[in-house]
Structure 1
Amino acid sequence: MEKTDLAALLPEAKQGNQKAQMAIITAFRPLVMKLAGQEKNLSLRPDLASTLVLGILEAIVKYPGEDPRRFPGFVKTHLNFLLSHYIRKEARWNKLKEKLYGQTQENYTEDFTLRVQRRELQDAFLCLAPDEQRLVYLAAGQRIPWKTLGEGFGKPVSTLYGRYQKALKKVREKVKRGSAGPGVRSQKRP
């Protein structure tokens, strides 16, 4: 843009002349497109370009003085400030989205798989007799020593350990039948 054009347009644009404002915006279009091109998401570039155009209008209103020679630098500084603000805002928004959704898609898939496995294990655990459930819970879940368990159940440790191994085998078989494949469900036996 020639400085003589800017010298004539700037006072009119500050007064609210829309033709003068459009001429200035058109003159800074390459700068706007260059800065908007820094947005990686192509669908958001037009929004950023619109924000930068509004920034040019702000710069016209906020420009101190009538000397048009420093106006291009003022506009560039103002647009770079708006761009840095936009980038920080997008980074904050992305962090917030991650917090809101709790995790990325890969983590969500892993978490879903773990929840399904936990549910299958719980279902298999519920198929045990109440004494077996209690034994497995105390031995595996609470890690109570076998000697203490023997005293609590009033049975020899070897007998309890054998029952514990049988209960775990039942759980493994139930889980194995339950995860035979997608669409295949184990049926309860009467």
Structure 2
Amino acid sequence: MNVTRLDEVQLLDRVDELADLLVDTVDGGASVGFLAPMDRAAAVGWWKERADAVAAGCLAVWAADNGHRAVGTVSLAFPDKPNSRHRAELVKLMVHRDARGHGLGRRLLGIAEEAARTAGITLLHLDTETDSPAERLYGGAGWTRAGVIPDYAADPAGELRPTTLYYKRLGATAPTR
């Protein structure tokens, strides 16, 4: 399994397979901000909208490839305010249903954490649906549960669900971005 950090051009070149991954993730029940059934055209558009943020350095995107298509992705969103350059948000950790259960989620998480350390990030944060399989991943990887917000977002079926906030302190130096 090859994992690559995508630049703007690579993201746009792979937008169709990234859209397929997003559709599979949402239609498979993962709460990543969309309702099922996920419209493929909307998924393509969503990924295309990320290209400018990647080009500007505000978003880092990694894609895992099984040799034929993207089967996983993870991103780091970097704040643009001067008082928050020490932190980043882990977003859109997705693994295709066919690739789950083989450690790809943990590998993508580790790659994002190491890239954050290298960039001088000392604090990561994220939110995930409470009681989802993702909670086991983050807890097992040393993330700290900060709290739960009730009725935070609708799951893919449209039902309001709580979200759990997590953070992880990283050993790093001053931000280099």
Both proteins in one fold, TM over 0.5: no
Q: What TM-score do you get using the length of structure 1 for normalisation?
A: 0.23
Structure number with the bigger relative contact order (C-alpha 8 A, sep ≥ 6) is 2
**Greater CA radius of gyration, 1 or 2?**
1
* Higher percent of residues as strand: 2
Q: TM-score, normalised by structure 2?
A: 0.24
The structure richer in helix per residue is 1
